[in-house]
Amino acid sequence: MKLKNYAQGKWIEGTDSGTPLFNAITGEEVGTASSKGLDFGAMLDYGRRTGGVALRKMTFHERGRMLKALALHLTSKKEDFYKVSWATGATRGDSWVDIEGGIGNLFAYAGLRRQFPDETFCLEGDVAKLSKGGTFIGHHICVPKEGVAIHINAFNFPVWGMLEKIAVNLLAGMPAVVKPATITSFLTEAVFREMIASKILPEGAVQLILGSANGILDHVMNQDVVTFTGSASTGKMLKSHPRILEEAVPFNLEADSLNCCILGGDAVLGTPEFDIFIKEVHREMTTKAGQKCTAVRRIIVPENLVEDVQIALGKRLGSTVVGDPNVEGVRMGSLAGMTQLKEVKERVMQLKKSQEIVFGDIDNVEAKGADKNKGAFISPILFLNKDPFKNQDVHNIEAFGPVSTLMPYKTIDEAIELSKLGKGSLVSSIVTADNRIAKQYVIGAAAYHGRILVLNNDCVKESTGHGSPMPMLTHGGPGRAGGGEEMGGKRGVFHYLQRTAIQGSPTTITAISNQYQNGGKYIEKDVHPFKKYFEELEIGETLITAKHTVTEADITNFANVSGDNFYAHMDVTSLEGTIFTGRVAHGYFVLSKAAGLFVDAKKGPVLLNYGLDECRFTKPVYPGMTIGVKFTAKEKVALEKKNAEDIAKGIVKWLVDVYDETGETVAIATILTMVKKRDQN
């Protein structure tokens, strides 16, 4: 079977015989993959002109709903993907991480849409006041880059690797070309086919290259973004491509790294944490047969616990059944293919020169339900390195399989130094119930690791584990790990947006951004804003309210109602040494009174008060002072209907500027109201 590429809106076979792909369990050929004949320059141009244009017309909310629809569709087809995934050597649990973990990223970024405006662009950060009088301000606007995200992915997660990346660039409004590693690309193609068949994504939003993508970087432009997951050596070679340098193309490198797991000195044999540590390290060695960029390669334990750990981990590894994942009882499948098996064995032999194998046999493995000579099977291998400061191959050589090294430390400072000898990793973890040890390790080691998991009995039941990157946290690491960042919630989306500083008057920046900027011109209307439907409200529309003179009775009554009898409000004899010159009104009275001034009491389109985003009390309010409110529509966020019976509505953010008789602001807040739409369709 010839796998097909998806380019310029069509499924296309390579024009040569292609690279044969094999079932990692049986050794049988499952198909061939080739990219011969593809015009990479035309593909990138098509993505920019077709997919990019369509995505940039959509708002963040529309793009988020698109991701949710795609996630739901792929979820409905997941069992088909599990069947294909088996041929990569993965167990059901391995495939769950890859398939449902990848789909979970789509769901996560779909939900992230609510943190962005219902616009094709967004503002970032706070306004910068650039002039004394406030007539000249600055802000940062972020718009989708007008290029293509080129994702060059590793073989170990053919689904997750694709979906975790495209979820981010699609929410940002940027199309992608996906280049999976060829050896497991048959699984990527199966998922990609469903993505295209769903017709959920705009044409040109995604394209697929199977086989070699050699030459694609010759066509990149400054608006493109390139991401690479794989070996550090290949990543560095691609990152230094002349076109990448000439066009200043952002390049995100996420490389395999020598991750470590530390056992705290308090976690001795018999404690819950000791058992947690053994279970976690075993899982990291055997999940995906150790083929994870986040797997534990270095096991760093107190020198007095080395023997206990070696015995306990050895027993657990000894009970791990290797073989065909479809056979009952099998807990570890094969490597992804014979090329990986050959490479892992070579690395094990290199490591063997400076440390001893204490569990496993590189040349002997029992494969339950399978022919060990036809599949890419290998035994878990546990090394012991008694002097890791002297014998440093373990800190430089990675065997990308179920291979890890146990090593001792004397003090937590030594553990920190050993963790740093890996020259930068994607993740480190420490298992300890002592928060002092945890803090010392995190602060001491954080500069060398992209993520640190602190694991103990308090969180183990809900922890996602050492090896699981999470969508809302950055995935990447310094040094050997590549120095890049993926995912990370909103932070990741900004990798695909161009941040541009904009300067002008508050009124002009309001008009550009669709978010009212303080100091901008007010739009005053004859109709109270609470009588208007969501669609009818304009950004900048302002109600100037009646005024109220604050009295001591107001303060006393509010104290009685709220129970807030703080001395500054109630005891004038206690004000010596404070900033107050007399009894001061409660800040929340000022805000409550402001609501009384701007609210229209009659039933109308406003459904409810949705909450308070920001609030500051900027000047004391004393009895005798008079306050008024400038109530301005700041931003509008449309909400989707949950079902046909749901009310069509949106959230309106209002700037509440409470000022005194001198015109000076005494309190400022952003409140939210839920407002009904006139159009209920």
- Catalytic residue numbers, as ranges: 254, 293
- What span, in angstroms and rounded, lies between the C-alpha atoms of 92 and 104? 16
Element holding 538 (H helix, E strand): none
Q: Which segments of 77-206 does DSSP mark as H helices, in order?
A: 78-85, 92-95, 101-111, 160-172, 185-197
Residue 134, C-beta contacts closer than 8 angstroms, at least 6 positions apart: 506, 518, 519
Q: In Å, how far are 34, 194, 223, 340, 382 from 259, measured between CA atoms? A: 34, 35, 33, 19, 15
Write the DSSP symbol of residue 480.
G
Q: In Å, how far are 112, 249, 427, 479 from 476, measured between CA atoms? A: 20, 19, 8, 10
**Of 263, 257, 217, nearest in space to 239 by CA:** 217
Q: What are phi and psi of 239, to 5 degrees?
A: -65, -25
SS3 142: strand
β-partners of residue 301 are 408
Sign of the alpha-carbon dihedral angle for 94, 474, 172, 211: negative
Q: What are phi and psi of 579, to 5 degrees?
A: -85, -5
Measured CA angle at 163 (ends 160, 167), to 5 deg: 140
Q: In Å, how far are 294, 419, 480, 584 from 484, measured between CA atoms? A: 14, 19, 10, 52
Measured CA angle at 85 (ends 83, 90), to 5 deg: 120
Q: In Å, how far are 300, 397, 454 from 430, measured between CA atoms? A: 9, 22, 5
Q: What are phi and psi of 25, to 5 degrees?
A: -90, -45
